[in-house]
């Protein structure tokens, strides 16, 4: 089937954008302090919290990477397996949520500092900023590609539109408004995907026709990957989710533990719908459009369906990207305010001043993200490393704070350093030997160092006392 752009699909993007901007402006009037801006005043109910958790996690990584690319490149079963790390991650956060709320910190760095000291905070801040600014830049460019594919709009114009929307929605009301737009976007995603699955299967001629048009390896459990290669695709999302600052901030923004538990159960149940739906749509797309880039598999289906259904899916995809972008931008700006500005530049800044500076950093980091992706497009390749850098550099140390009382400051910091360095060496210096993603090396290394160094330094401390 040949791809042909349909400019009429722009109407769906326009309507979505108007609703999001209007809601963002309305919610911004309810922001009076930093807690409102960064943690939504710790007032999120179960429905909104569930929606913002869902929308923040299920971003462009899912519709252009993750389930989409794996289903297109390797088959339906490896893609469906990607749901398992997400479910494990949600369950783990469900257990840790009361402890996360008890810390009451705005950033992951703040939690790490309380356990491991200032060095851990500084290192974590650098990791978060590098990873999150890159993630935001990827959302902007991805949105530009989506508009180009579906409507024929210039990629650069689409990237600018995404940059403006992402920066505006993050700046106007912080998490107070982002959580509301996230919730709407999350439920739009669910509706769009549920409608799309049966429609695209009908367009593709049904299951039997799809199976006939895909390689035989796409129907095997591993999709032609070795077991260790498959694990290399499964672990990054798990360790990113377990340590993702966005998730910690949202759990801390709930009304209470009961609200948090209800939201996370709802999030888990909806992921049982969303993740397989994305896999099935991308798998059908492999049959229809075998020669396209794997990352565009889901979006290409908008051109093969009736315009109303394609438009809903397009709006849902826009929701994926915009909500992920403004969430990560807000989170990165929070680090700039509290971990850098508040710690080293203006230690006595008032709450009002910190709120203003957070908004300023949103604009600065948003513009930087746009410039980064505009002038240095190869950063997209580097961002794949950043996911693992974050997961290996932060997640083992942050989980130990909540689940292992014997972890030491030296062990935590050593784990962070080893996780980051191992990832960079494996991916960049060694060039990813054996075609293995660095996560299968860096995460075990970070965990081993965390345990061994903690036990060694703890024993030393005991002997000295």
Question: Taking Cα atoms as reference points, which of 59, 68, 112 lies closest to residue 328?
Answer: 59
For 135-157, b/e burial (b = at least 16 CB within 10 A) is bbbbbbbbbbbbbbbbbebeeee
Q: Which two tokens stand for residue 155?
A: 């990629």
Answer for the pair 45, 256: CB distance below 8 angstroms, yes or no.
no
pTM flag (> 0.85): no
Q: H helices within 40-117, ranges in order?
A: 46-57, 60-64, 66-74, 76-81, 83-103, 108-116
Distance CA 320, CA 268 (A): 17
**pLDDT of the chain along its 465 residues, tens only?**
667 778 888 888 888 888 888 888 888 888 888 877 877 778 888 998 998 888 888 776 677 777 888 999 999 999 999 999 999 999 999 998 888 888 767 688 888 998 999 899 999 988 888 788 878 887 888 788 778 877 788 888 888 988 998 999 888 878 777 788 778 878 888 888 999 999 999 999 999 999 999 999 999 999 989 898 888 888 888 888 888 888 888 888 888 888 989 999 999 999 999 999 999 999 999 999 998 888 788 888 988 889 888 888 888 888 778 888 888 898 899 889 988 898 889 888 888 898 899 999 999 999 998 887 766 554 445 556 667 888 899 999 999 998 998 999 999 999 999 999 998 898 878 888 887 888 889 999 999 999 999 999 975 544 443
What DSSP state is assigned to residue 302?
A: G
State residue 108's pLDDT score.
86
3-state helix, strand, coil in the chain (%, to 5): 85, 0, 15
State residue 203's pLDDT score.
94
State residue 89's pLDDT score.
92
Residue 307's alpha-carbon distances to 16, 185, 190, 219, in angstroms, are: 16, 20, 18, 31
Radius of gyration of the chain (CA): 22
State residue 2's pLDDT score.
62
Domain annotation for the chain: domains and CATH numbers:
8-379 (1.20.1730.10)
Q: Which two tokens stand for residue 19?
A: 């609703």
Residue partners of 93: CB distance under 8 A and separation at least 6: 100, 241, 242, 247, 251, 264
Residue partners of 120: CB distance under 8 A and separation at least 6: 109, 112, 113, 397, 409, 412, 413, 416
State residue 410's pLDDT score.
95
């Amino acid at each position: 089937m040949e791809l042909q752009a349909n400019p009429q699909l722009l109407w769906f993007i326009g309507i979505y954008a108007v609703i999001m901007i209007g809601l963002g402006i309305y919610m911004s009037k309810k922001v009076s302090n930093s807690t409102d801006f960064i943690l939504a005043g710790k007032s999120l109910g179960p429905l909104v919290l569930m929606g913002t958790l869902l929308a923040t996690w299920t971003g462009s990584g899912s519709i252009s990477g993750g389930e989409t690319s794996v289903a297109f490149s390797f088959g339906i079963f490896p893609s469906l397996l990607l749901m398992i790390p997400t479910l494990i991650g949600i369950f783990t956060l469900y257990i840790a949520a009361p402890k996360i709320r008890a810390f009451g910190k705005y950033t992951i760095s703040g939690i790490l500092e309380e356990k491991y000291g200032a060095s851990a905070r500084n290192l974590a801040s650098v990791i978060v900023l590098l990873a999150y600014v890159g993630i935001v830049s990827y959302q902007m460019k991805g949105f530009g590609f989506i508009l180009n594919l579906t409507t024929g709009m210039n990629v650069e114009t689409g990237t600018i539109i995404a940059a403006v929307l992402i920066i505006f929605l993050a700046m106007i009301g912080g998490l107070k408004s982002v959580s509301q737009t996230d919730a709407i976007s999350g439920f739009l995603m669910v509706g769009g995907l549920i409608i799309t699955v049966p429609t695209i299967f009908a367009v593709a001629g049904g299951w039997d026709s799809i199976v006939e048009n895909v390689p035989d390896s796409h129907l095997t459990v591993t999709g032609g990957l070795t077991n260790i290669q498959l694990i290399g695709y499964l672990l990054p999302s798990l360790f990113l989710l377990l340590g993702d600052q966005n998730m910690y901030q949202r759990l801390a923004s709930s009304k209470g533990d009961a609200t948090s538990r209800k939201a996370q159960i709802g999030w888990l149940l909806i992921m049982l719908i969303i993740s397989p739906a994305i896999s099935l749509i991308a798998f059908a797309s492999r049959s229809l459009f075998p020669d396209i880039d794997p990352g565009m598999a889901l979006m290409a289906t908008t051109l093969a369906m009736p315009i109303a259904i394609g438009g809903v899916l397009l709006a849902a995809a826009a929701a994926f990207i915009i909500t992920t972008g403004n969430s990560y931008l807000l989170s990165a700006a929070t680090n700039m305010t509290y971990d850098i500005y508040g710690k080293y530049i203006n230690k006595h800044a008032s709450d009002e001043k910190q709120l203003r500076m957070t908004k300023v950093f949103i604009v600065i980091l948003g513009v930087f993200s746009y410039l980064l992706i505009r002038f240095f497009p190869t950063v997209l390749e580097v961002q794949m490393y950043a996911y693992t850098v974050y997961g290996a550099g932060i997640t083992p140390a942050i989980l130990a704070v909540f689940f292992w009382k014997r972890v030491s400051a030296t062990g935590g910091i050593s784990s962070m350093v080893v996780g980051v360095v191992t990832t960079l060496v494996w991916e960049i210096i060694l060039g990813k030997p054996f075609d293995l993603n660095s996560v299968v090396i860096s995460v075990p290394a970070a965990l081993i160092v965390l345990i061994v160094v903690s036990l060694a330094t703890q024993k030393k401390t005991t002997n000295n006392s």
